[in-house]
Amino acid sequence: MKLGEKLRYLREVEGSLRGMARAMTQQELVRAIKAELKTSVSQSYLSQIESGTRPHLTNTTRQMLAKFFKVHPGYLVDDPEGYHAELMSEARVLEDKLDLWLVSGAERFPRDPDLRKALLTLAKHRESRQCLLLMESLIETPGLVERLVEVLRPTARSTKHFKVRPAEPIVQVKDPPRAGKAKPRGKEKS
């Protein structure tokens, strides 16, 4: 994992921990560091790190960010290709890569808050890979997605990005006529 990806991930986690339900922006991070650590870093510097334009942090900045995010300073470097922690299984490494990919994807949809929230919720789930595989099964089952949307997310039907067929109208069946002749209403014979 590259340093820029780690920094974006840490901003996402920090935003979640602070109850923002989104990643902290770079500017919010700059303000929080200034307020909490009484030191500063520029937003443009953070942007260069995240974009990969600047591949390394200065030691001072690494120490400051490690203190702010409460991580070991050694975490804030690029990982060697194929590297993963000894105690982590391959499945956990795959899960972490998937989660980072989902978080990165969520950042690409700032104008679609529902989609962004869905991607982040999926990324935060402990078994995000399993959730995606389950989603494949849901999609392959004819009519199931439409029915689930109708039941679980009825407001999604009005969203311009997602079209669902309207539900079939409920037909009411009248009582069947009874056997025998019906007496005409009106004049009765005595």
Q: With CA atoms as reference, report the closest residue to 1 among 86, 75, 92.
A: 75
Q: What is the 3-state secondary structure (H, E, C) of 25-85?
A: CHHHHHHHHHHHHCCCCCHHHHHHHHHCCCCCCCHHHHHHHHHHHCCCHHHCCCCCCCCCC
At which of 66, 83, 100 does a domain end? 83
Domain that holds residue 14: 3-83
At which of 55, 83, 111 does a domain end? 83
pLDDT in tens, 94-115: 677 888 888 888 888 888 888 8
Residue holding tokens 């820029």?
4
pTM above 0.95, yes or no: no
Task: With residue 102 as reference, give the H or E element that holds it.
Answer: helix 90-107
> DSSP secondary-structure letter at 183?
P
For residue 88, the model assigns a pLDDT of 47
CATH number, residue 71: 1.10.260.40
